[in-house]
A and B are shown apart, each in its own frame.
Chain A
Amino acid sequence: MAIEEVFSSKGRVKILRILAEIGELNISEVARRAGLNYTTTNQHLLVLENHGLVRHKKFGRIRIFRFDEENPRARMIKKLIEFWEQTNKPESNHE
């Protein structure tokens, strides 16, 4: 996956940001927080999972997604998001 494919989709970036912030969530909750519908969220998550950025755990019918910490790319993207969010706060000196 070319890097622009991840970052050019606002939905995917939103999903990654939510997962970076919360840790792990089921699809409906990711969809609710991202303001996307279930199907779109599911599709984004599948793309991200196919490229090793997120992974899911299954509990019966429930799937819970999180960053795939074993993938160095996923770790770096998570770090980038965390840094971005941290330096985005108004009281920060990094503005």
Chain B
Amino acid sequence: MPQYFSVFKDESKLDINYVPPRLPHRGPQLNLLDQFFRFAFESPGKMTQRVLILGKIGTGKTVLSQHFGLNITKEAEKRNINLNYVHVNCRECKGSLFMILQRTILKFYPHFPRRGYSAEELLQALMQILDEENAYLILALDEVEALILSEGSDPLYNLTRVQEERLKAPQRLSLICILRQSECLEKLDPSTRSTLQRNVIHLEEYLKPQLEDILNDRVNLAFRQGTVSAQTMILVAELAYSEGGNARYAIELLWRAGKYTDASEMREVSPECVRRAVVSVYPVVRKDMVSSLSLHEKLFLLGVARRFKQTDAAYVSMGEAEDAYAIVCEEYGEERRGHTQLWKYVKELSASGVIETKVSGEGQRGKTTLISLPRVPASDLEQELSGILMQGGR
């Protein structure tokens, strides 16, 4: 076998789910979280907490929460307190409280039955488990917008109020809600909103030097020494800064640039590799986003992308999109979903920012939803989706 040189030492350190040991420029926010949850050590069971983490994409919301979760559970273990941190992405759970609670319970009972009860019953079961195991839980709801958009106020109301029904029982369930825009909170009823907005941590976009520090840390962890020059790192930081201080984008760009370097059998990640990577990474078509879509969402999006490839129009109608999706379904040997389900997909894809929608106005007979693809070339989206579907990423 030929000798293969890679610039990577450990590329898993650039993975979206990796939690680094150090969080540059998020120290104050981490301290604030520690302060909010100090009671967990000083008087466990006497109170619970609700914290809101707000910030744009790639500002470190998820990693901040996960880093905090790792630290606090380690500290609790030292003090013999059964404190658990569970991080659930609401978008991956299709905005369903049932699925969120199910994932949470599976951490405690890996073989808990997957069907046959309601979300309310599941919440009661979770509280029972916590009581029986004398455990405390910090439940981090990432991308909580998905939950609010899909189920409205009730889930958060129930989660924040579950303790109130348990008079004199120990307080066990704390919440961290992570979201991009506070506007979404307006959909909540006033009492739930006020409960949540008591403790807010706002994450500003990263500045260029801050992005450089983050990249520097990741380069040291993921790349072989001397394979990424300072110049390359500055270029990546500049590009990510222009994308709204998006650290996640910076890290993905770095990873892709590394992959291009390996593919070209070079020994150093050059700015040219970064430029090639830029063309292939669109901030809205991140790997994690696309791969978290369900099979039929992917097929539908593929249909939309193909439709846009054939037309110069800025919008395609829902009907045209459905027709394109039907052809894709045929190609992949899948049974097509009905209109109502597709309409739900459109709403979800629009909420995640991949597509944009508007209702047709004057000049068109009847009323239909018009879909646009404002941020990514249709051909690139098609390529990305076809690649994932081909690899069996269903």
A24 to B113, CA, bound (A): 10
Asked if A60 and B121 make an inter-chain contact with CB atoms under 8 angstroms apart, the answer reads: yes
Report if B4 contacts A (CB, 8 A). Answer: no
- Select one of B109, B116, B128 contacting A24, CB under 8 A: B109
Give Cα distance in the complex from A25 to B267, angstroms. Answer: 53
Q: Are A22 and B117 in contact (CB under 8 A)?
A: no
B169 CB within 8 Å of chain A: no
- Interchain CB contact under 8 A, A22 and B111: yes
A-side contacts of B113, CB under 8 Å: 26, 28-29, 62, 64
Are A60 and B124 within 8 A (Cβ)? yes
Q: Are the C-beta atoms of B125 and A60 separated by less than 8 Å?
A: yes
Proximity string of chain B (99-123) to chain A, C-beta cutoff 8 Å, 1 when within and 0 when not: 0000000000111110011000100
Does A59 reach chain B (CB closer than 8 Å)?
Answer: yes
Contact check, A62 vs B117: say whether CB atoms are below 8 A apart: yes
Closest to A29 in B: B113
Q: Chain A residues near B116: list those with CB within 8 A.
A: 28, 61-62
Across the interface, A25 reaches (CB within 8 A) one of B111, B128, B129, namely B111
Shortest C-beta distance, A10 to chain B (Å), equals 23
Q: Decide: B111 and A29 in contact? CB cutoff 8 A.
A: yes
Shortest Cβ gap from A30 to chain B (Å): 10
Expressed in whole angstroms, the minimum distance between the Cβ of A17 and any Cβ of chain B is 15
Nearest CB in chain A: distance from B54 CB, A: 35
Cβ of A23 within 8 Å of any chain B Cβ, yes or no, is yes
Could you list which residues of chain A lie within 8 angstroms of chain B, going by C-beta atoms?
A: 22-26, 28-29, 57, 59-62, 64
Task: Give me 5 A-to-B residue pairs in the complex whose CB atoms sit less than 8 angstroms apart, sorted by A's number.
Answer: A23-B110, A28-B116, A57-B132, A59-B129, A61-B117
